[in-house]
Structure 1
Amino acid sequence: MQIRSRLTYQFTYLVSAILFVSYFIIYIFTQENYKDKFYSRLRQKANTTAQLLVNVNQVDSKLMGIIGQTNRDLLFRESILVYDLCNERIYASNDSINLHIDVDLIKQVRQKQEITFQREDIEVLGTVFATPQGRLVVFAGAVDQYSAENAKDLKNILIALFLLFILIVVLSGWFFAGQAVNPISEVIQQVDKLSPKRLEERLKSPDFEDEIGKMVSTVNRLLERIENAFKLQKTFIANVSHELKNPLTKISSQLEVSLLKERESGDYKKTISSVLEDTQELAAITESLLELNKLSLSDSQAGFHEWRIDEILWEARSLTQKLNSAYKVSIDTSHMPEDEEMLLIKADDKLILTALKNLMENACKFSPSKSAQVSFKNSGNSIQIFVRNEGKGIPANDLPYIFQPFFRGENTASSKGYGIGLSLVERIVQLHNGQISVVSVPDSYTEFTVNFAVASR
């Protein structure tokens, strides 16, 4: 079911329920009002008849009958009965109508002062009329013909109004629901026009303050991330193709040269050794790709435990210096907090070790002195790690791309590598909900800053 139809139905159901309850209450209260007015007329007739019998001399039942017949306020099948102190009937306005009044009913009226009851279709009111000689009991009954007719007319009017208003509600609900969903339809049309070749386009909304505008803003941010992902994918494929093409071309060229003519065993050994080196390079690239893909697919922190960051730093330093005897890594502990708990982070120690070792190795590799300076400090609820080296620095044009896989800047052409290390570092830091940033001054220094949250107790 479309949103427009659903909104119309819901709006119709709601208004119908409100109208039904309102009209039902109106009908019930009107019925009660009609009944109260009818009994008020019966009470007035009973009191008037009793007053004439008691207060006016020489008034008998015959004269009361004549007076009753000339009364313009005569009710349908009206009957009035009056009983004296001995519960004997002293007056009856209509002998053809029997209200079936017994002594128990008369006593009940004397006790309760006033009662109402029904005899077939006749509504009867019994009341007490006080006189100097005692209390008379008067019963006044009649058929409430006009109230029934008025109630029937009111019911027909309310039903007609209910159906009319429901029709108006359906039409207006359909119209306003259409007005409400029109912006969504426009957004759908804009989204249908999007394609991988037109990801630079963004959705438009007349009002960015309402829910639809916020949805459009969210979709636009999603499109921006998708566009960046596509660009990153294209760059990744181009860089991977380039990195894999070089060793494959070298292997193919060396094998083709070896097959041109017969050669000595020493030449074949050299060729095989060179091919083996290129093959190992391909294996290293493939392994790096698998490791990067593994990290990209992993978002679980279930296996994280608490580790001291200083111990991981010292182990990373030891592993980095074993890679090359010329590498020197110094760790500054002058800002080390006195509370050991401020050094704890919740992490996978092997992944953090890999990230820090890569940062230290890069710092040593691109430093003329093959050295790196590492320091760390606690900043409230976080631990900051600084890895710095002195050298050529990173060109400003290369800084936005250094964390992309297989990207290698101009100043790295003379160094062996595949451009995957910093991508691994960034992914590991993100997996631990940390942040990494870099500041580089050409011909001066480069400093990476890694921020981890302190493990909460």
Structure 2
Amino acid sequence: MFNKVVTNQTKTMVLLMLVFTAIILLFSGLVYFSIVNFSHQRFYELLKIRTTTIVQIEKSKDHLDLPENYILNSLNDEELPMERDYVFAVPEDSNFRKISQEVHIPDYFFKSIVRKGEANYNDKEFYYIGQTFKYDDKEYIAIASAKNHYVIYYLGFLKRTLITCIVLSLFFSMIFSFYLSKTLFRPILKITGKVKEISSENLHLRLEAQPDNKELNELVDTFNGMLNRIETSFETQNHLIGNVSHELRTPLTSIMGEADVALSINRTADEYKDTLEIILDEAEKLDKKIKALLMIAQTGFDGKIQKMDKVRIDQLLWDVIETLRKIDSRNNIYLDISMLPDNPKKLKVQGNEQLLHLAVANIINNGCKYSNFQQVKVSLGATDTDVYIIVKDFGIGIPEVEMNKIYDPFFRASNTKNYEGYGIGLPLARNIIRMHHGELIVSSHENQGTTVQMRFPNFYSARPERIEKVRI
């Protein structure tokens, strides 16, 4: 529930605050412990200088006379805060328990000095450092101690200063995080608001590019591209509905008209038979158009699974040409094989043979029909990655202003009124070619002819996921 309420902007602000807080705490801790460590080392260095001075003074005496209380100086003569300096003779049995009880310094400290020659120790308030030295073949220990006022008083001030700085830093980091997150998300919120304004009624609206923001501009360009495709789809859909309505209304009008006339007056049996034949003919046309529309829908959207096999395009072309010649002996097709590759494997594609046969046959048949059965040249070639089929006719062509509508189902060019057809061959062929990850390119000039290029990726350059089956 919390994740649904909290926005990404709030999450970003909190994340930035956490990062800033972690950095500030880490930096403050580093500063504090560095200064504490430095103050300890510096104070020990001062004590070491005092200890060395004590040793030198004691060695310079003619006779080393140790005081009874072991303390060399009084509080009034201190060099460091509450300094106390000691000199001890090392007991023959190395037992420092008596001395430890008198000066309140642990005996392990004395033993450490004897073992190492120099050692330091602190009891959280006083700092001690000791050295051994010899005088008249006898071993002694010199210790300097003092209270580290810097650690006790000045570091306390440092703590308070750092805490104050941390609180202020957190406050300012919160303000900065809020401002930064708001600045980062402002363009996104602006885009979101603009997107909410776009609906099916104003698909012409587009998002504006953001200055100096490459990533968001890529998003804007992608979204605008999607809007272009959606707008085109809406226009195509509206055009398709108009075409389909017209194509389906025409035979229905004929059927209804003939039935109405037949029922209006009594007729002879032959007249009723003629009427029924007209109705049957129009019903068959209507059935063909509906089946064609279903075929386009099947090849344009996800549906049943079609099995994909290796298909030799040269063999497929010979089959298509033979089939078209059987359908109409007037079909004059010339197959140009001058661009065939040396390696026949390059002519293999992965696809459904029946669907490919249907697509190629539709393209070649259109070339024959709309060129009034003049010769249609079909060329076959291949590269290392693709197989190409080029169909060229010298027929009536397509008007330039109508080229953008040639893939609309049931659309027929304005110069095709004298030719049979439903306007579904080219859209159907394009859907099938797209299903095979191919490409269909049409170029045409009115009264000069049409050239159609089909490209298919060959079997060996196809992706692994294309190998077995494809959805259509």
What's the TM-score once normalised by structure 2's chain length? 0.88
Do the aligned partners of residues 87 and 26 (structure 1) sit closer, same or farther apart at CA in structure 2, a change above 3 Å counting? Answer: farther
Local SS of the residue matching 2:450: strand
1:426 is the counterpart of 2:427: no
- 1:407 match: 411
More off after superposition, 368-377 vs 402-411: 368-377
Do the aligned partners of residues 256 and 122 (structure 1) sit closer, same or farther apart at CA in structure 2, a change above 3 Å counting? Answer: same
Partners of 2:339 and 2:124 in 1: CA distance: 102
Partners of 1:442 and 1:195 in 2: CA distance: 38
1:106-128 alpha-carbon deviations (Å, 9 max, x no partner): 45423311122345854432322
Partners of 1:138 and 1:162 in 2: CA distance: 44
1:64-118 alpha-carbon deviations (Å, 9 max, x no partner): 968433324243373524225847999x9999642243xx754542331112234
Q: In the alignment, is the contact (CA less than 8 A) between 2:210 and 2:216 conserved in 1?
A: no
- 2:465 match: none
Partners of 1:277 and 1:270 in 2: CA distance: 11
- CA deviation after TM superposition for structure 1 residue 395, in Å: 1.7
- 2:140 match: 136
Letter matched to residue 239 of structure 2: T
Local SS of the residue matching 1:295: helix
Q: In the alignment, is the contact (CA less than 8 A) between 1:50 and 1:82 conserved in 2?
A: no
1:436 is the counterpart of 2:433: no
Partners of 1:197 and 1:308 in 2: CA distance: 48
1:70 is the counterpart of 2:76: yes
1:80 is the counterpart of 2:70: no
- CA deviation after TM superposition for structure 1 residue 374, in Å: 1.4
Partners of 2:15 and 2:426 in 1: CA distance: 56
Partners of 2:58 and 2:132 in 1: CA distance: 14
Partners of 1:26 and 1:73 in 2: CA distance: 29
1:455 is the counterpart of 2:459: yes
Which residues of structure 2 form unaligned runs of 5+?
1-5, 462-472
Do the aligned partners of residues 132 and 213 (structure 1) sit closer, same or farther apart at CA in structure 2, a change above 3 Å counting? Answer: farther
List aligned pairs for 1:279-358, cutoff 5 A.
Answer: 279-298=283-302, 303-358=307-362
Partners of 2:132 and 2:47 in 1: CA distance: 13
Match 2:206 to one of 181, 202, 207: 202
List aligned pairs for 1:113-192, cutoff 5 A.
Answer: 113-118=117-122, 122-131=126-135, 133=137, 135-192=139-196
Match 1:397 to one of 380, 397, 401: 401
Partners of 2:215 and 2:145 in 1: CA distance: 66
Q: In the alignment, is the contact (CA less than 8 A) between 1:47 and 1:129 conserved in 2?
A: no
Do the aligned partners of residues 254 and 95 (structure 1) sit closer, same or farther apart at CA in structure 2, a change above 3 Å counting? Answer: closer
Structure 1: 4+ residue segments shifted above 6 A: 87-90, 92-96, 299-302
Partners of 1:372 and 1:253 in 2: CA distance: 41
Do the aligned partners of residues 410 and 57 (structure 1) sit closer, same or farther apart at CA in structure 2, a change above 3 Å counting? Answer: same
Percent of residue pairs identical: 24
Equivalent pairs counted in the alignment come to 454
Q: In the alignment, is the contact (CA less than 8 A) between 1:299 and 1:431 conserved in 2?
A: no
Letter matched to residue 182 of structure 1: R
- 1:27 match: 32
- 2:18 match: 13
1:156-175 alpha-carbon deviations (Å, 9 max, x no partner): 22111111111111101111
More off after superposition, 400-409 vs 57-66: 57-66
- CA deviation after TM superposition for structure 1 residue 325, in Å: 3.3
Which residues of structure 1 form unaligned runs of 5+?
none
Do the aligned partners of residues 62 and 239 (structure 1) sit closer, same or farther apart at CA in structure 2, a change above 3 Å counting? Answer: same
Partners of 1:227 and 1:100 in 2: CA distance: 90
Partners of 2:373 and 2:314 in 1: CA distance: 24
Letter matched to residue 288 of structure 2: A
List aligned pairs for 1:213-228, cutoff 5 A.
Answer: 213-228=217-232
More off after superposition, 77-86 vs 157-166: 77-86
Q: In the alignment, is the contact (CA less than 8 A) between 1:80 and 1:140 conserved in 2?
A: yes
Do the aligned partners of residues 136 and 420 (structure 1) sit closer, same or farther apart at CA in structure 2, a change above 3 Å counting? Answer: same
Q: In the alignment, is the contact (CA less than 8 A) between 1:46 and 1:80 conserved in 2?
A: no
Do the aligned partners of residues 299 and 27 (structure 1) sit closer, same or farther apart at CA in structure 2, a change above 3 Å counting? Answer: farther
Partners of 1:335 and 1:143 in 2: CA distance: 100
Match 1:375 to one of 369, 372, 379: 379
Partners of 2:267 and 2:212 in 1: CA distance: 75
- 2:60 match: 55
Letter matched to residue 69 of structure 1: L
- 2:466 match: none
Do the aligned partners of residues 445 and 146 (structure 1) sit closer, same or farther apart at CA in structure 2, a change above 3 Å counting? Answer: closer
1:281-317 alpha-carbon deviations (Å, 9 max, x no partner): 1111111111111111139998422210011111111
Match 1:270 to one of 274, 288, 309: 274
Do the aligned partners of residues 137 and 71 (structure 1) sit closer, same or farther apart at CA in structure 2, a change above 3 Å counting? Answer: same
Partners of 2:453 and 2:106 in 1: CA distance: 105
- 2:464 match: none
Partners of 2:304 and 2:275 in 1: CA distance: 46
Local SS of the residue matching 1:232: helix
More off after superposition, 75-84 vs 243-252: 75-84
- 1:417 match: 421
- 1:112 match: 116
Local SS of the residue matching 2:401: coil
Local SS of the residue matching 1:198: coil
1:380-429 alpha-carbon deviations (Å, 9 max, x no partner): 42222111222222222222221221110112112222111100111111
- 1:257 match: 261
Local SS of the residue matching 1:367: coil
- CA deviation after TM superposition for structure 1 residue 341, in Å: 0.5
What's the TM-score once normalised by structure 1's chain length? 0.90
Do the aligned partners of residues 70 and 415 (structure 1) sit closer, same or farther apart at CA in structure 2, a change above 3 Å counting? Answer: same
